[in-house]
Amino acid sequence: MLSRVADSLYWMSRYLERAENTVRQLDVTMTLMLDSGGVNAEERWSRMVAALGNPEGLDWDGDLDSMARKLIFDSLCTSSVTYCINGARENARQVREEISTEQWQRLNRLYHQIHSPMAQTQFSSSISDVLLTTLDGIHLFQGVGDTTMIHGQGWQFIRLGRHLERAYATATMLEVYQPELFHSPGGEATGHQYLELVGLLRCCTAFEAYCQVYTADVAADRILEFVLLNRDFPHAIRYCVDSIRTAIQDIEHTGGRRSPVELNASVGRLHAMLGFTTIREVLDGDPAAFLHRIRQQCLAIHELIYRYYVQYSIQSALAA
């Protein structure tokens, strides 16, 4: 597969994953604002912005409506949902021949949807409808991709982009929220605390899955265990890293001329770190540092993907 094409598929996927994450966090934050519960709107907003990786230009101006509008529609704001969808579509447009027609049509429809005057009208009547429509669009795109695209290298790069973005975003979010998780008084969660914890789970669409594993008995350490270390839940960081690892293995198998030694090592280290650590060890140590290390590793993996698949030097390739 052409390096440029792999690059575009990877970013198409990352942008959509980013859009999805932003939509979900915004949805949860706005729902939580309905319950006063001690935390004021500004604080909540800044915390969400921090969890989104502190993008610029989203300082609280006192008006939730205009802030939300900006985060959804402002195509100049580099973290807005529209910006991400534009980015995904632009990347898809450059590799139009690699993705299936069904995929392109879904993405194109999502793009026209968010740019349509209808979306603005919908926003005025119900913000959460806009968010749900957008989520639906993204899910449809992903589903159609999985069922219509050949599961070759291109698909693996899409998978790589999705899970790397997700692992990084989830680690960022946990890093922002974890101080409060563990500094709240122990024992039975109060009504407001309960809502906060459930909100955190819902940010990763993890509430129902969590209940299946631990029952509705929500507790901070279990949440962390679930979102960080669960092997089977698609939004858990460990699951994402496992997917990254198999995607890279599959890419290596379909090509097979060069072995990405350092990349395998880097992913393997992260994989081992999440696979062979218990939540007790994380909590007894420094959870913030642990999460931070995950993010650093994700960044390193991104760099290595570029070095092996996209930006290698011609000399090294001719020598191989």
Residues that bind other proteins (CB under 8 A): 1-6, 90, 93-94, 96-97, 101, 104-105, 108-109, 112, 153, 157, 251, 255-258, 308-310, 312, 314, 317-318, 320
**Strand, helix or coil at 74?**
coil
Q: Which long-range contacts (CB under 8 A, 24 or more apart) does 173-176 make?
A: 173/25, 173/51, 173/200, 173/203, 173/204, 174/224, 174/227, 174/228, 174/291, 175/288, 175/291, 175/292, 175/295, 176/47, 176/50, 176/51
Name the minimum Å distance from CB 307 to other proteins. Answer: 12
CA distance 315 to 270: 31
Q: Give whichever of 114 and 294 is closer to other proteins, judged by the CB atom.
A: 114
Burial class (CB in 10 A: 0-12, 13-18, 19+), 79: buried
Name the minimum Å distance from CB 171 to other proteins. Answer: 26
Q: Give whichever of 82 and 170 is closer to other proteins, judged by the CB atom.
A: 82
**Strand, helix or coil at 56?**
coil
Name the minimum Å distance from CB 86 to other proteins. Answer: 12
Q: Give whichever of 115 and 293 is closer to other proteins, judged by the CB atom.
A: 115
CA distance 235 to 167: 8
Q: Give whichever of 255 and 268 is closer to other proteins, judged by the CB atom.
A: 255
Residue 107: other Cβ atoms inside 10 A: 25
Name the minimum Å distance from CB 164 to other proteins. Answer: 16
Name the minimum Å distance from CB 235 to other proteins. Answer: 27
Q: 98 near 5, Cβ under 8 Å?
A: yes
CA distance 316 to 320: 6
Q: Give whichever of 97 and 284 is closer to other proteins, judged by the CB atom.
A: 97
Q: Give whichever of 224 and 251 is closer to other proteins, judged by the CB atom.
A: 251
Closest-CA residue to 176 (of 255, 75, 292): 292
Name the minimum Å distance from CB 5 to other proteins. Answer: 8
